[in-house]
Structure 1
Amino acid sequence: MKRAAGRGDATRKQGRILSSEVLLKAGLAHAAVDADTVPNPLKRMICQRDGMMIALLAVLPIRRRSFCELALGQSVHVSDSEILISLSEDMTKTGVPWDAAIPPQIEAALRQYIDEVRPALLARGDQRHDILWVGKKGEIMQQDYIGSRIGDVTLKLTGKRIPPHFFRDAAATTLARISPESARLIRPVLAHSGFQTAERHYNHAQTIEAGRDYASLLKRLKGDRS
């Protein structure tokens, strides 16, 4: 049924897997530069929130359910020195706990969302809860809404609709394009229990590297003739 509906078909992703760097830059720009040009305070906060969701997924492409369930003090731990994302066994598909520190590229912007934007949105609806991502009145946003929202915003920013699970493909593809050694990092980045996905991208990375060597050789040969 999935195949008949077009789901699970690799061709659906063709041309829609951007690099993590592109997604990160788009998210940060939306949360800062784009937001600064919005005169309406509420729309500006929504812009900051949406940009941070995209930027965070770009650097830590966790699964959608876990991303939507992130909660301060439970899976998001904020200290003076770092922000730590810590997923418990029931928040990962493999049942294995996973944690990672927020990279410095987005830490300041995420702190601003946590310290300023999120409390302001909660206050609009007199809401009190610990879920990280909140709606315009501080309500807890459902998974489907977050998924469609991220798709809408990435379409606006990049010209391609990138749903949350495509960020995982983007991370794997980006690492594979760097080098075969970087491709080995796919398993811990995606929190996979097995090596199959990492091995597949490792082989893909070797093919890319071989192609680069071949192109370099051709360039040198052409240079010798000239």
Structure 2
Amino acid sequence: MSQLMFVDGVLRILRAAAPVSDWTAQLRLKASLKRAAGTGDRDRKAGRILSSAVLLNAGIELATKHAETAGTPLQSMKHVRDGAMIAMLALMPMRRRAYAGLRIGHSVLVAENEILIALPEELTKSGQPWEAVVPSQIDPLLRRYLNEARPMFMARGNQDHDILWVGERGTIYTQDYLGCRISECTEKMTGVRVPPHFFRDAAATTLARTSPKGARLIRPVLAHSGFGTAERHYIHAQTIEAGRDYATLISKMKKGKR
């Protein structure tokens, strides 16, 4: 579906720029992608969109309780890393490419009182830079990973680079491996396999369920350039709030009859 959307967008521009050219081959490619994509699997996220609070708690528990009871120092540090990855993504739901591409000293700026995440425009879908301070709930987890776990991993593999998320021998996590690791760990902690992109859905859904005002935070939190997603969740939040008000009204009416 993503490939179809990309090809369709490019083809629209090309046909507008050169309307007399023969785009038959490209149109066939688009048609092939459309057949392969179908209408999309609407059920693929069913039951897999947890609240951000659940994902945050899963990450914190993995990085603390599980790390403390691990059988070896290496296993403990792996829990610290995995827990920090999940907890941070729960409150800072970046796209997988951006998350895997975080670099210490470039997009991860560590100061004494705060850690700043600064994504350059090439790592955001909107093409606009995005900055946010690491929330206080996960600051200690990330610092422990940076100060204890990551140095251990880098030393074991004799590695020297600035990529944030690394394997147990300091090797750089690719986007695919990062996604698999997060999915495996969320399944272990929650019973539900949650890939990185679903963390963004979790954030939008969680905000929408709080209130219509919360839904308005979706755009800056997810670094969207447009208001489409935020508007859909805003309407969803209004519906939820109206339902709550209606239920409260009915409850009061029932009590009045008694």
Q: Give the TM-score normalised by the residue count of structure 1.
A: 0.97
Q: Is residue 54–residue 150 contact of structure 1 (8 Å, CA) maintained in 2?
A: yes
Report the aligned-residue RMSD: 1.4
Q: Deviations over 1:102-134 (max 9, x none)?
A: 000110111111111111110011111100001
Q: Partners of 2:249 and 2:172 in 1: how far apart?
A: 56
For 2:128 and 2:41, the matched residues in 1 are separated by 28
* Secondary structure at 1:144 match in 2: helix
Q: Does 1:24 align with 2:51?
A: no
Counterpart Cα distance in 2 of 1:52 and 1:23 = 11
Q: Shift of residue 34 of structure 1?
A: 1.0
- Name the counterpart of 1:134: 166
Q: Which amino acid aligns with 2:134?
A: I
Task: State the one-letter code of the partner of 2:135.
Answer: P
After TM superposition, give the deviation of residue 174 of structure 1 in Å. 0.2
CA offsets per residue over residues 168-203 of structure 1, 9 Å max, x none? 000000000000011000000000000000000000
Are 1:71 and 2:86 an aligned pair?
no
1:10 Cα deviation (Å)? 2.4
**Post-superposition CA distance 1:124-150 (Å, at most 9, x none):** 111111000010101101111110111
Aligned counterparts of 1:30 and 1:114: Cα–Cα separation in 2: 16
Matched, 1:111 2:161: no
The one of 121, 124, 130 equivalent to 1:89 is 121
Q: Alignment partner of 2:44: what SS?
A: helix
Alpha-carbon distance in structure 2 between the residues aligned to 1:122 and 1:77:
19
**SS of structure 2 residue aligned to 1:104:** coil
Match of 1:159 in 2: 191
Q: CA deviation at 1:4?
A: 4.9
Per the alignment, residue 20 of structure 2 pairs with none
Output aligned runs, 1:1-226, within 5 Å. 1=33, 4=36, 8-226=40-258
2: distance between equivalents of 1:124 and 1:7?
Answer: 47
AA in 2 matched with 1:57: L
Residue-by-residue CA offset, 1:28-83 (whole Å, 9 max, x unaligned): 11000111110211111111111111001000000000000001000000000100
Task: Flag structure 2 segments of 5+ consecutive residues without an equivalent.
Answer: 1-32
Whether the aligned pair in 1 keeps the contact of 2:80 and 2:144 (CA below 8 Å) is no
Verify the 8 A CA contact 1:66 1:91 in the aligned structure 2: yes
Match for 1:193: what amino acid? S
Bigger radius of gyration, 1 or 2?
Answer: 2
Farther off after superposition, 151-160 or 170-179? 151-160
CA gap 1:23/1:2 in 2 versus in 1, 3 angstroms: farther
Instruction: Verify the 8 A CA contact 1:187 1:197 in the aligned structure 2.
Output: yes
What percent identity do the matched residue pairs reach? Answer: 61
Provide the rounded CA distance (Å) in 1 between the counterparts of 2:235 and 2:243: 12
Q: Please give the TM-score of this superposition, normalised by the length of structure 2.
A: 0.85
Change in Cα spacing, 1:131 to 1:214, as seen in structure 2 (3 Å) is same
- CA gap 1:19/1:115 in 2 versus in 1, 3 angstroms: same
Distance (whole Å) between structure 2 residues aligned to residue 17 and residue 180 of structure 1: 19
CA distance in 2: counterparts of 1:5 and 1:156, whole angstroms: 31
8 Å CA contact 1:6, 1:12 repeated in 2: no
Q: Which runs of 4+ in 1 moved over 4 A?
A: 1-7
Distance verdict in 2 for CA 1:117–1:196, change over 3 Å: same
Aligned length: 226
Task: Give, in whole Å, the separation in 2 of the partners of 1:2 and 1:77.
Answer: 42
For structure 1, which runs of at least 5 residues remain unmatched after alignment? Answer: none
